[in-house]
Structure 1
């Protein structure tokens, strides 16, 4: 399974023998071709450059992809690509502490490793300085990373901690073991995160050889996307990458091809846990093969909720609680993985037999044209949505580049559109054979027709994409400046006759996408007493069917419209999210109207949902992270069980769920839900008259019978307390702590509290004091930090500061000591003026990045409409932060935070 990590930054120097005979003269990027919205350039040193402009963005992403992953690891090197990814955030020759520079700049950055590739990306507000620095930094760490042994020694425990987190998840462990058993020779059978034994034994000289071999311009693709000046990008690329010579070494194409499997295999994993799983893996085609697209369509046909054949056969009949499928986009012959979650009361052997029986039918099912069109519509919707989110699209291109060439993504889309019923039947019969499956025991048979994976050479891919031109470039969305002044200038509001308020942000989204976000507060504490589980289920089952539409028809129609609709209920609020396009808005809203005015809440769907939810709770009962965050909420509050603010234990929630009947959902819908007290914000269209009419037609008559009165939390003081929850056989542990106090966002101390939290645990790129101590200095936690919860409503002041850390159970004492020492030192000695100055810059840059996202704009609009919070408060807070003195922050820290008020929870296996 893909291991995507939160990486760190710090940099270094090196002199590689690969460069000695190469030229050092400057090289320039030369335009090669444009395929739809992507412009390709090439440098003489081999570097490929892809530009994806989108002037509607206010951010820019720089993403560099190296064609090296766990597939390229040799004997004794398992996990080296992933470990190197961590080390590339340490230090370089020319720039110094990059982690600090990333922290100062704010924004978002990460690195990930997979089978065929490793990537690093940075997302910042678009300006020349950020663009220059990102390109300069990626060029520097391409050839000048330090990889010091002392840094490696510290990073071992961090990577090991990450490894142990994965080992806690029974489903992930089973998937990893099945895939490993399914491959005899190819490295796709090896976990990306690697072997713990290899990781702990590797030395910096070995890692450096690996780095020098693969981290070269002829093995890399640089992607720049968002809002940028194309000439400046090429200028910076020429300036910083142009002096890097083409290496003299030659990377040989990996020749290993997995042989055809010659019988069904079986894997059994026995570990502590509370829910059961069954998985099955088949060898299938590489991403570049047209069969891959057909297999993706088949996967949707088999597993989609509610129309999938396997879904109906296994989930609808309650044989399993949930199913999923996964096939990675990889360079060589891929695999198809099918997983099922089973409640603990089921006989696992019988369920395994039932699953194998249904899997055996895949090649014999009479698939229909309707099946194919439904699945294709769902996939094409996802492709379109991804393409129209430029920043995410540029990061997601990593997988496609790793699979052989960026143009394969367009060919995949084209292949999806061409898939026919005959293609589905062909791939179902070719790949989904018993002797190509890893699930059970070995069964010897005669006269097997074995499946040999298709082999794709580099030449094959070159021939496949060389003359591909793609489709016409779509119309670009208008630029939108990420500022409060610009937001106010492009904002319009109104109110329906029933009381629903709306706000329209006149901002175009790529592809003419339209997004609506609803917050619909309802009812009161009395009417909502003991109805938490009922409210959650009611919202979840709204889309299960209407008087005219089945659940399947709702999904099919939304997929055909490339639209998505979601409902969620929590506390007192029903949240509704709608993602669609201008040409689909009318029809999508009509479907939403039917959903909210004519729901049927089918009993069969309620039974399936309850089964899935209860199975999920069983899995979380002994999960260290889930238990820790649930328990800290429970022991730091004091509400009766009937209160909408009460946090039930997993056992209590499970019991509540099992009591819910269909009549409870119907009554909750009829008496509680409604839109008259709510708000909605819209981005993507500025047609106020049309929006108001659609909202009136859809929500204008939807009113709640229950009187709305906002409920407020009551304050419970925390006390000095450390609670341990010992869970059997878990490789990872969690620590969570909280201090409660009284404050809201209008409090005079609020700005200083924000910066105190930034410096103590939340701010920068893992550079705040807690993550710096626990992860960077001592390497005893993979992830650590802090967060604050401060209400926006002036009528309440129930607030808190919390910390968290993920750790090896044997490091519990060390983590507790380090956390409490850092808090004590901060209280005793205070923060420094330079520390405050640096964190203010980082915090403000992060807010600028956030303001460039549609979600932030929608949130600001909804907060204004619902709570009367002015847009100007966003800038006002920045001015208050700018005016802070370090003494203000230190005084607030001493006033509100104390170890005598710190309640902590530790969950894990502490008795080994």
Structure 2
């Protein structure tokens, strides 16, 4: 079930509320209450969760790319950009107000949990904030719904931002193949085009046309609100009435989509050839809408196809060495859409062999059926995913929002029951009905040296006509719930062998999250074998001395649990999620894999191919290549942070022996370099005892340490072009060695100083100018990276279209130079401090967030108390300290300039 992570069971019942005169209670169903505004018909769903003093408020607008036509494709998405941060009656620069993003940023919101998105069936706007800022979130969404100005000068700059987003997508082979396959499979219905639209429509749509689209669809009776998390019901309903109750109903019927996709009469094919490094095969099978009774059986089928190492297509493709990965998507949409299967060809494997294997496995399933055990496993995986998705208000609101857009909220709440009712016969029936040749579209992505021809531009013109709006009334707030300090909530134990474990009980949901760190990152491998740490990490989940990969996969699949290992520069990361009751087995599997990997020869051969594809894909990414080159310029050869070239890594993959893998594992996977943080509905004492049993006798080993290395000094800046032919987008990276380490006393001050300059693409110096004002980029940010035990780099990274390259470099440089001269203002520092404090609280609103924060704090030697101390550390930063830290770690006269893309030289 990849279309939705929803939250259903065990919700706290809403207390009885004294309703405002304009609000009526519609119904309460399984713990979620629906209310409606009598004046205009707008509804709100309330899903309370007091686990953390955080909420998510979302409004779902029933307009997406299915409500467009050729000539205005992408209009919903462009409108989303216009109301995301451009001017409304009460926000934005047109009338002298703070922008929406400035207000949200100061409240602690970030782009991950406070944003706007557009898809086929809907647009949504949402904010995740501390509980005392609910009035802020509602004011913002009210202005987005009915008070957007949609000014021509703002559309012009935002059009180029959206065009750059389009170009970034064109750089991605998988996205390019998906667009081609979907357009071939769907030829009449508006799902034919992608949400972002055609480039010529993005460039050519007029402001008046966007304004007309807004006036057609943005009305309270075409929108639904969702509030999840910590809130007071009476105060929330009063705010909802105050902010949204004054909007009138739509003055006309909302236009309906009437086009029905005609039946497909045979297999269709499409081929995408453009520069790339890895081949892809995609099969699309047209199936019914989410509201159709067969959709639920297709969900179970989708899980059986690709969920886990024992899934049908994993066994048919990955296990046989034809592909390095395979996945499938069965998105819940309002109208019929394909079930998509996508495989990444293993190096040297032809596309036709991968296609034949997919078709063969699916035909075998449709003919012979599936076992009851496969159905039960899929049902368990889906049910656990549903329960796990209650881990935080944003996840809950997002899942409910997708259901409201594609079907309705009560269908969403009955989803698990319907999944449990599916039988093996149902799965075979829908496979035989929908996964058949006459409903199939095949897409291939074949890497080529030839770039596609660019599309011609279209003219843009429209007169500005601002709209009037009323000022909202006075505010009301709801107080946040008190929280016990993490230093008291956390049970911490250091085992005699050095293993560190932190455990936090959080009974809000019956789930558990595990996050771990092993000091076995790529920098711990010898320079002569740069792929050694990556390949060792790849082998952990491929079988142990006591269990095969398939046996472990079956155990996890039966629980609906997940665990992942990923190798980074400084460490190997561990992530696991599941039901709290299953923690003993989850930890047993993690301990077995970390301590006793089998390094079986057959699995090693597959892991080599998988890692080779990873390196090839990274080498085809403009941002990765530019940042890699910065690392090579900033750090001397032999330094742990100096990135190895792709050719060296590919040679290393082939040369590494099983003995070398085992030796690296013995050296780097000792208990003295391991940390586990566990949060969920668990017994801390029993969990500590379990960890002691599983890891207490592990050899301590010697934790790798590089702290004795001297700090890297910035050198004279170098200008370089990294040539990647056929790329529609470029990445500009400016940066140098920073000299900043995590343990430095001015670390928090440096964070605040950088945030004022470039933390946010919309609420920072460079973001406001390069993206928001000049519209030159979709993504721009500055960061201190790799500031851990060693000092890392400071950089700016900018996505840009080739025609805007010179201007983007110039504008970014000017802002950097101005900031170096003037520093941050008191107001900027205060805004960034407010962001960090609020954002940190938001991050601790889920089991996964708590476990990740604890693991990070332990990694740097701070312990659980740091989760309580961080807001105070940030609050203590002064403007003088922030500017002093920036002067110490930011070197504008020694910045390297690297541009990766389709170019050979840099502009003057």
Give the TM interval when normalised to the shorter protein.
0.7 to 0.9
How far does residue 597 in structure 1 lie from its aligned partner after superposition? Answer: 4.6
Match of 2:194 among 171, 191, 196: 191
Q: 1:671 to 1:106 in 2, by over 3 A?
A: closer
Question: 2:473: which partner in 1?
Answer: none
Q: 1:235 to 1:817 in 2, by over 3 A?
A: same
Question: 2:892: which partner in 1?
Answer: 899
Structure 1 counterpart SS, 2:903: coil
Deviations 1:122-159 (A, max 9, x none): 010111xx101211221222111000011001111100
Q: 1:192 to 1:608 in 2, by over 3 A?
A: same
Matched, 1:56 2:51: yes
Structure 2 counterpart SS, 1:235: helix
Match of 2:381 among 378, 383, 394: 378
Deviations 1:857-879 (A, max 9, x none): 43553455454426566666655
Task: Please say if residues 758 and 781 of structure 2, whose CA atoms lie closer than 8 Å, have aligned partners that are also in contact.
Answer: yes
Question: 1:840: which partner in 2?
Answer: 833
Question: 1:462: which partner in 2?
Answer: none
Q: 1:170 to 1:263 in 2, by over 3 A?
A: same
Q: 1:365 to 1:171 in 2, by over 3 A?
A: farther
Question: 1:575: which partner in 2?
Answer: 573
Q: 1:561 to 1:212 in 2, by over 3 A?
A: same
Question: 2:703: which partner in 1?
Answer: 708
How far does residue 569 in structure 1 lie from its aligned partner after superposition? Answer: 4.2
Task: Please say if residues 524 and 640 of structure 2, whose CA atoms lie closer than 8 Å, have aligned partners that are also in contact.
Answer: no
Q: 1:294 to 1:714 in 2, by over 3 A?
A: farther
Question: 1:16: which partner in 2?
Answer: none
How far does residue 275 in structure 1 lie from its aligned partner after superposition? Answer: 1.6
Matched, 1:204 2:204: no
Task: Please say if residues 732 and 897 of structure 2, whose CA atoms lie closer than 8 Å, have aligned partners that are also in contact.
Answer: yes
Matched, 1:101 2:103: yes
Match of 1:416 among 395, 412, 419: 419
Question: 1:317: which partner in 2?
Answer: 320
Q: Could you tell which deviates more after superposition, 846-855 or 366-375?
A: 846-855
Question: 1:731: which partner in 2?
Answer: 728
Structure 2 counterpart SS, 1:52: strand
Match of 2:244 among 237, 241, 251: 241
How far does residue 409 in structure 1 lie from its aligned partner after superposition? Answer: 1.8
Question: 1:463: which partner in 2?
Answer: none
- Equivalent residues in 2 for 1:216-615, closer than 5 Å: 216-343=219-346, 345-439=348-442, 481=482, 486-508=485-507, 510-521=508-519, 530=528, 532-570=530-568, 573-615=571-613
Q: For the residues of structure 1 that align with 2:101 and 2:837, how far apart are their CA atoms?
A: 17
Deviations 1:534-593 (A, max 9, x none): 332223322222344332221222232232223344456443333233322223333334
Task: Please say if residues 592 and 698 of structure 1, whose CA atoms lie closer than 8 Å, have aligned partners that are also in contact.
Answer: no
Question: 2:778: which partner in 1?
Answer: 782
How far does residue 198 in structure 1 lie from its aligned partner after superposition? Answer: 1.3
Structure 2 counterpart SS, 1:41: strand
How far does residue 201 in structure 1 lie from its aligned partner after superposition? Answer: 1.5
Task: Please say if residues 524 and 711 of structure 1, whose CA atoms lie closer than 8 Å, have aligned partners that are also in contact.
Answer: no
Question: 1:132: which partner in 2?
Answer: 135
Task: Please say if residues 3 and 192 of structure 1, whose CA atoms lie closer than 8 Å, have aligned partners that are also in contact.
Answer: no
Question: 2:694: which partner in 1?
Answer: 698
How far does residue 339 in structure 1 lie from its aligned partner after superposition? Answer: 1.4
How many pairs are equivalent? 841
Structure 1 counterpart SS, 2:290: coil
Q: For the residues of structure 1 that align with 2:521 and 2:699, how far apart are their CA atoms?
A: 11
Q: 1:73 to 1:864 in 2, by over 3 A?
A: closer
How far does residue 891 in structure 1 lie from its aligned partner after superposition? Answer: 4.2
Q: Could you tell which deviates more after superposition, 77-86 or 598-607?
A: 598-607
Deviations 1:324-354 (A, max 9, x none): 2112110111211111222453333454455
Q: For the residues of structure 2 that align with 1:880 and 1:424, how far apart are their CA atoms?
A: 56
Structure 2 counterpart SS, 1:299: helix
Question: 2:453: which partner in 1?
Answer: none
Matched, 1:638 2:647: no
Structure 1 counterpart SS, 2:266: coil
Q: Could you tell which deviates more after superposition, 902-911 or 873-882?
A: 873-882
Q: For the residues of structure 1 that align with 2:435 and 2:745, how far apart are their CA atoms?
A: 65
How far does residue 244 in structure 1 lie from its aligned partner after superposition? Answer: 1.4
Structure 2 counterpart SS, 1:742: coil
Match of 1:647 among 643, 647, 660: 643
Q: Could you tell which deviates more after superposition, 254-263 or 601-610?
A: 601-610
Q: 1:891 to 1:361 in 2, by over 3 A?
A: same
Task: Please say if residues 181 and 438 of structure 1, whose CA atoms lie closer than 8 Å, have aligned partners that are also in contact.
Answer: yes
Q: For the residues of structure 2 that align with 1:481 and 1:880, how far apart are their CA atoms?
A: 20
Q: For the residues of structure 2 that align with 1:768 and 1:653, how far apart are their CA atoms?
A: 37
Structure 2 counterpart SS, 1:88: helix
- Equivalent residues in 2 for 1:741-752, closer than 5 Å: 741-745=738-742, 747=744, 749-752=746-749
Deviations 1:435-480 (A, max 9, x none): 1111279xxxxxxxxxxxxxxxxxxxxxxxxxxxxxxxxxxxxx97
Question: 2:469: which partner in 1?
Answer: none
Structure 1 counterpart SS, 2:763: coil
Q: Scaled by the length of structure 2, what TM-score is found?
A: 0.87
Deviations 1:408-456 (A, max 9, x none): 2233322211111101110111011111111279xxxxxxxxxxxxxxx
Q: For the residues of structure 2 that align with 1:290 and 1:240, how far apart are their CA atoms?
A: 38
Q: For the residues of structure 1 that align with 2:571 and 2:171, how far apart are their CA atoms?
A: 34
Q: Could you tell which deviates more after superposition, 804-813 or 143-152?
A: 804-813
Q: For the residues of structure 1 that align with 2:891 and 2:593, how far apart are their CA atoms?
A: 50
Q: Could you tell which deviates more after superposition, 538-547 or 333-342?
A: 538-547
Task: Please say if residues 490 and 507 of structure 1, whose CA atoms lie closer than 8 Å, have aligned partners that are also in contact.
Answer: no
Task: Please say if residues 63 and 121 of structure 2, whose CA atoms lie closer than 8 Å, have aligned partners that are also in contact.
Answer: yes
Q: 1:744 to 1:278 in 2, by over 3 A?
A: closer
Q: For the residues of structure 1 that align with 2:617 and 2:798, how far apart are their CA atoms?
A: 21
Matched, 1:119 2:129: no
Task: Please say if residues 480 and 507 of structure 1, whose CA atoms lie closer than 8 Å, have aligned partners that are also in contact.
Answer: no
Question: 1:11: which partner in 2?
Answer: none
Task: Please say if residues 391 and 846 of structure 2, whose CA atoms lie closer than 8 Å, have aligned partners that are also in contact.
Answer: no
Question: 1:465: which partner in 2?
Answer: none
Q: For the residues of structure 1 that align with 2:545 and 2:882, how far apart are their CA atoms?
A: 58
Q: Could you tell which deviates more after superposition, 408-417 or 208-217?
A: 408-417
Question: 2:65: which partner in 1?
Answer: 70
How far does residue 623 in structure 1 lie from its aligned partner after superposition? Answer: 2.0
Q: For the residues of structure 1 that align with 2:904 and 2:595, how far apart are their CA atoms?
A: 55
Give the unaligned 5+ runs of structure 2. 5-19, 92-96, 445-479
Structure 2 counterpart SS, 1:268: strand
Q: For the residues of structure 2 that align with 1:521 and 1:734, how far apart are their CA atoms?
A: 31
Deviations 1:374-430 (A, max 9, x none): 222222222221134432121232221110212222333222111111011101110
